[in-house]
Amino acid sequence: MADNYLEAYGKETSQDAGERTLKYFEDLFSMEMPLSRMMKMMPGMVKFMMSSKDTREDLFKFMPQMTPMIKQAVTGK
Amino acid sequence: MSKKTLVIGGGIAGITAAQKIAQNGGDVILIEKEDALGGNFAKLTYTFPVLGDAKALVSQEVQKVQTTPSIEILTNTTLTACQGSVGDFSVELKTLSGTRQEIVGAIIVAAGFHYMEPTAYTEYSYGRSPKVVTSLEFEKMAAENRLPQGNVRVVFVHCVGSRDKAKGYVYCSKICCSYSAKHAIMMKKANPQSKSYVFYIDIRALGKGYEEFIRSAMEEHNVRYIRGRVAKVLESEGKLLVRAEDSLMGNPVEVEADLVVLASAMEPPVGSRDLAAMLGIATDEYGFFQDVESNVRPCHSSKPGIFLAGSCTQPMEIASAVAMGGLSASEALAVTR
Amino acid sequence: MPRLDKVAQIPKPDKIFVFKSCVASNKYPGIEACSSDSLRILGIEPVDSDEQTCCGGFVTFANVAAPTASMPAVARNLSLAEEKGLDTCVVCNGCWTFLNEFGHFMNHNAEVKASVNMMLNMMGKEYKGTGSVYHIAEMYYRLKEELAENVKRPLKGIKVATHYGCHYLGGGKYTAIDDAQMPSYLEEIIEILGGEVVPYTANRECCGTGFTQVINGKDLSLEHTKTKLDSVKEADPDILVVQCPYCHSQLDRIQQQFNYRDEGDFQTPILHIAQLVGMGLGLDVAKLGFAAHVSGRARLENVLDRIGR
Amino acid sequence: MLEQVKDWDDDFYERWKPIAMGFVNEAERCLQCGKCTGQCPAAAVTPGYNPRKLIRDLVDGNIKRILSSVELWQCFFCSGCYSTCPMDINFPFFIFMLRLGAMNEGYGWEDVKQLEAYAEKDYLKDGITVSIRERNPFVVDTVGDIGKIREAAGLPTKRVVSKRGVAEINMISDLSGMTSFMKKIGGVDLLDCNTCDDAQARRCKTKPLPSKVGKITTKTRFYNYGEPSGGKTNAKT
Amino acid sequence: MRLRIHENGIRTIVEESIQKSLTACLQCSKCGGGCAHVDEFDLSPRQVIEYLLDCLDEQVLDSRTIWLCGKNCTECEVICPVGLPLNGIMVTLREEATRRGVEPKYEQPSLIYHKFEHCSKHRREGEEG
């Protein structure tokens, strides 16, 4: 917490802080699925798949739904 | 073509309309659903902005109407049916002694207004504590001088029901700022030891002499005006804890009060929608009667020949109600002569 | 006064999915035991599953989990009830508000629902948004008649004060069964059980937990709880009824902290509405779980003796 | 150093509303009437905390002051302001979203550290945020073992969430980036009276308790070691 | 903090000394706007009046404003729409503070202020420098 927020931010104006915050919220709430985000999700899915047999079946059942998204993410169409 | 005009509602607007028509040779049927004329004006003891004696003014006006021969006054009467168009409306009136058919040239609706019952405002413990009253009850207490004696603190709360999307009406009721100041001064006159507090958001003094009147409450009668809307009124051992924020300072404050007066919203009269349906005229989304063009043709309802007067169209003070009564009278005369 | 139209919308199902609250399971098991047994007595078969995790409201509003992280968790919990075609009954204000808010949010936001369902499909689950969430106090108020018939141990002469908790009435401004400022459905349930209602000034004040304030800003939270408990002490009820285990734990434990810090002698036992109803319906004393209570234990035993074990 | 209105970001709120997808709404309708602060329990005890001012700053666009303010972390989250607000402004949602923004600026991490421990060690470990850990020695003396009380009440000794359930919420947490976020924040380790040595127990029992309630100058935390969050220095202004 | 509003704070002393009710204050903060030294004060003149009315007596008495302001610079009195004698109020508060033994706080403010300080013509009779 800044004791005096004017000193804490120095030269920066509220516009820059606002810009930064908006960009943070944009990629926090963004709905699209770029390749980078999909890569970040891979370890989680692998860990889930390894955890037990029936989770592996569920993930395989999900795969047909996943392929169009991967294609769209890779080709970026 | 009938030369008669029907005036619905015996409040100050209706009385003025009837007088003006009678003075110009028209004849009027004035119907009032209560058993006495005067409407809301009769319930007051003082008027603002000059603390005039309301009782004398009302009785003088009512007495004038009662003595003019060409005005036929029917109390305890309501309208039950209305057909026809401008020039000859056939109206059916239900009086104590049965129904009456009349043919009238024009109709003036002056149904007045109704103070909203703030039962939805449980945060002010209205209905739970007898010490939380509406402004109307405060008027009655002042009339029967049952106001609390001794060094008591009285809190007046603005905007109860108005300017409130969640539980009330979004519009502003225009006169609460003025009559709360009037109540504060009446309280000080009745009990000089008492301390008055008024919680306001903004002071809206919208008439000649209103600002001076409210300023006199602040300066001469040292009524303490705190900017902030009252958030809670709690009962604790006989006292009322009024909690709000002094938003000019940013601190929450608490006042221990003996009486809390809520300035409740002015809403359309009870049954205004079915009266409008019966007459075939439009109402706005709150139930006030809708005028055609509020700037240039304020008195005209959506149906030609039917005119509106007084606070049944929008919250207004007595002066505007009288002015609108006169205007609708001249409109009616133009039609019936 | 309770909004009777809202109360009428609550169905009287024959089975309902009982949502276990973390604080109730691990700190006051009496709430969990009494809620399912009392529902069974009132004719509703409680169904629960150990797949159901914490609602995630605490970690979300404590800003550890972003809404995008906790919305799938809420959908997952709600889909457990939807698979069995049941509505959900929660015992905690926080769970109620959180499940309702995010459920309502997903139902009105198709793309969010689609992305949440994408995540849930990975686990073979799917959130349709058909089930609705009810608070146990709402169910008791809805089953007033059955409650009146089944009272075995009327609480004659027991002075009971109420504390409604903020999240249910605050968060559910338009969806709760009573208005936020002067609720009275708990009072009616107490009268049905035969107890005597005790009003006190700070009835609608917050219990002082401040959701995470008791961890981060403990002095402010204690300050507020002290004003609350002083006002309760003035009215001196035999029991203070709450409807949220988090308020329960705060009011219960902080009284003990005040006592040995000689800040005053607070001995008011705190009971959850499920425990009070369980007591009224005659559940045996072990099920009420009074052993887990921290303060006012002697007075609780005295109350039990007065109404018969 | 006076505040410059020209460096306010006045369309921040307008551009923020579509992004936050309905979590933040209607702040522009605020009447500034002060009803929320009037009934706010936090404003009644905390000097300088005022929800109305926060909404004022947000709509004005004084983002620097909000994100670096200590008031953002003093809200009690009781949504009493939402229930009395004449314009239905859901203030707790604003606080919740602004706190996310403040953490992105690096503020408030000390406060969240305390809670991150609960999420990491309880929520993601065995699916229940509030575990049997008890960090108050006096409560442990009066209550004893919760497992026995659960058995007496006819419940299983320990509430267990199925392994499948725990795996699922861990996956949700990984997919949505919550795990990486928690790793960035880091956490404190939780004290547990049942498994702690008696040296710490003696220290806990003899630790000076927070100052007498009524003076907001407390520095020490009740049972956990470690300095409270940096924000307290502003509490006294 | 939640303040309890009552009437027996030092407000009554101030009102007796200036023979005018403090409730007349419109809280329009024109005085704060007009004052040349307001950035040195911790309370603007308007806030001093509001603190008195809100019974925050201690904060008013140990504020810097009552010591720095009121030394015969009447900029705020002139433009006050209600004509409140702010100088008189500050003088009374200063007397009350010395009576209660609150040590004065007036590290030297900006140079503008000095001009009034030394110019004897502006100083009122009976008031020390």
Candidates B52, B67, B58, B21; CA nearest to B39 is B58
Are D30 and D59 in the same domain? yes
pLDDT band at B264 (very low <50, low <70, confident <90, very high): very high
What average pLDDT does range B119-147 have in this prediction? Answer: 91
Question: Which residues are paired to B104 by β-bridges?
Answer: B89
Nearest residue in chain D measured CA to CA from E2 = D44
E38 versus E102: the higher-pLDDT residue is E102
d(CA D38, CA D61): 24
Q: How many CB atoms lie within 10 A of CB B190?
A: 15
Radius of gyration for the alpha carbons in chain D, expressed in angstroms and rounded:
21
Distance CA C222, CA C235 (A): 20
**Residue written as tokens 């109420």?**
C162
Angle between helices A35-51 and D163-175 (to 10 degrees): 170
Q: Which residue range forms the structural domain that includes residue D30? A: 5-104
Question: Model's pTM, two decimal places?
Answer: 0.86
Set of chain C residues whose Cβ sits within 8 Å of the Cβ of D152 = 286-287, 289, 291
CB E10 within 8 A of CB E93: yes
Residue D20 has pLDDT above 90, yes or no: no
Please give the pLDDT value at position D217: 34
Check if the beta carbon of residue D216 is closer than 8 Å to that of residue D46. Answer: yes
For chain E, the distance separating the N- and C-terminal CA atoms, rounded to the nearest angstrom, is 37
Assess whether pLDDT exceeds 60 at residue E125.
no
| Residues of B engaging C, defined by a Cβ cutoff of 8 Å | 120-123, 125, 128, 166, 232, 234-236, 241
**Which fold is adopted by the domain C4-136?**
Glutathione S-transferase Yfyf (Class Pi); Chain A, domain 2 (1.20.1050)
Judged against a pLDDT cut of 50, whether residue E98 lies above it is answered with yes
C-alpha span between C122 and A57 (Å, rounded) = 10
CA angle C215, C216, C221 (to 5 degrees): 75
**CB–CB of B131/B259 below 8 Å?**
yes
Over 70: is that where the pLDDT of B147 sits? yes
Please state, for a pLDDT cut of 70, what percent of chain D lies above it: 85
pLDDT digits (tens, 9 = 90+) for B15-56: 999 999 999 999 999 999 999 998 899 999 898 888 888 999
List of domains in chain B: 4-113+268-336 (3.50.50.60), 115-266 (3.50.50.60)
**C95: left (phi > 0), else alpha (psi -120 to 50), else beta?**
alpha
CA angle in degrees (0–180, nearest 5) for B282-B284-B287: 95
Q: Look up residue C298 and give its amino acid.
A: A
D149 shares its domain with D194: yes
Which alpha helices (H) appear in chain C, and where do they start and end? 4-9, 22-27, 29-41, 57-61, 67-83, 93-107, 110-122, 136-142, 144-149, 166, 185-193, 213-216, 218-235, 245-260, 273-280, 285-288, 297-307
Q: Given a cut of 80, is residue E124 above it in pLDDT? A: no
Mean pLDDT of D181-191: 83
Answer yes or no: is pLDDT of E73 > 80: no
Measured between beta carbons, which residues in chain C are less than 8 angstroms from residue B120?
179
Domain containing residue E110: CATH number: 1.10.1060
- Show residues of chain B in contact with C228, CB under 8 Å: none
Instruction: Tell me the residue range of the domain where E28 lies.
Output: 11-118
Among residues B186, B202, B207, the alpha carbon closest in space to that of B315 is found at B207
The residues, ordered by sequence, that sit 6+ positions from B176 with a Cβ below 8 Å of its Cβ are B135, B158, B159, B162, B263
Considering the four listed CATH numbers 2.60.40.420, 3.40.50.11810, 3.40.50.300, 3.40.50.2000, the one that applies to the domain covering C152-307 is 3.40.50.11810
Q: Is residue D141 classed as helix, strand or coil in its secondary structure?
A: helix
Question: Where are chain A's structural domains?
Answer: 33-77
Q: Kindly state the percentage of chain C with pLDDT values over 90.
A: 56
pLDDT confidence band for E111 (50 / 70 / 90): low
- Nearest CA to E39 out of D60, D50, D3 is that of D3
User: What pLDDT band is residue B249 in, cutting at 50, 70 and 90?
Assistant: confident
Does residue B206 surpass a pLDDT of 70? yes
Residue B94 has pLDDT above 80, yes or no: yes
Given pLDDT bands bounded at 50, 70 and 90, which one contains residue A2?
low
**End of a domain among D104, D119, D144?**
D104
Domain count along chain D: 2
Is residue D133 domain-shared with residue D157, that is, in the same domain?
yes
- Please check whether residue C27 is in contact with residue D148, taking contact to mean a CB–CB distance below 8 angstroms: no
Confidence band of D215 (pLDDT split at 50, 70, 90): very low
Confidence check: pLDDT of B1 > 80: no
Q: Is residue E16 part of a domain?
A: yes
The answer as to whether E36 is a domain residue is: yes
From the list B61, B33, B103, the residue with the least C-alpha distance to B318 is B61
Distance from C-alpha of D140 to C-alpha of D217, rounded to nearest angstrom: 28
Nearest to C124 among A31, A45, A58 (CB): A58
pLDDT given at position D223: 20
Q: Do B252 and D44 touch (CB under 8 A)?
A: yes
pLDDT at B328: 94
Looking at residue B293, the DSSP 8-state letter turns out to be: B
Over range B226-240, report the average pLDDT.
90
Same domain for D202 and D161: yes
Minimal Cα–Cα distance from D59 to chain A, Å? 12
Do both D49 and D78 map to the same domain? yes
